[in-house]
Amino acid sequence: MKMLNIRSIIKTSSLKMIRMKLVALYLLNVSDALLTHFIMSTGYFCEMNVLLTEVVTNTAAFLALKILAPGVLVSLLCIRLSRATERQLKLGNIPINIALFLYILVNLNHASWIAYLIIALSI
């Protein structure tokens, strides 16, 4: 199996790679939702996304909006991708890479706040 480095993963816009990126994006979205829910449950933090401030207090609505809806959208995108041209795949690769980068940053931010909480509460 050929090993891919980060640069080749970013540049590759094959159907298979874009589908893998969409799955990774969905998993990062799920971890964002779960970590947000956990951090919010501590009472030390509040939701910064003004669109989600009301939804975050309703667990069922929050999970449906943050996990179920994106899952449906990713599934529909994966189905639609099978009809995409090579040019469309290359163009679509750009926003997917940007979204992956941003979700990685969001998840790292959550991890840093959780680490901070663990350290602060153990002192």
Would you say residue 91 lies in a domain?
yes
Would you say residue 11 lies in a domain?
no
Instruction: Please indicate, yes or no, whether the overall pTM of this predicted structure exceeds 0.85.
Output: yes
Average pLDDT, the chain: 91
Would you say residue 24 lies in a domain?
yes
Would you say residue 1 lies in a domain?
no
Position 52 pLDDT exceeds 90: no
Count of the separate structural domains present in the chain: 1
Question: Which DSSP string do the residues of 2-63 spell out, in sequence order?
Answer: ----HHHHHH---HHHHHHHHHHHHHHHHHHHHHHHHHHHTSS-----TTTTTGGGSHHHHH
Residue 5 has a pLDDT of: 85
Would you say residue 25 lies in a domain?
yes
**Torsion sign over Cα 48, 42, 102, 66:** negative
φ, ψ of residue 14 to 5 degrees: the values are -70, 160
User: What are the tens digits of pLDDT across the range 68-77?
Assistant: 999 999 999 9
* Structural domain of 98: 16-122
Would you say residue 3 lies in a domain?
no
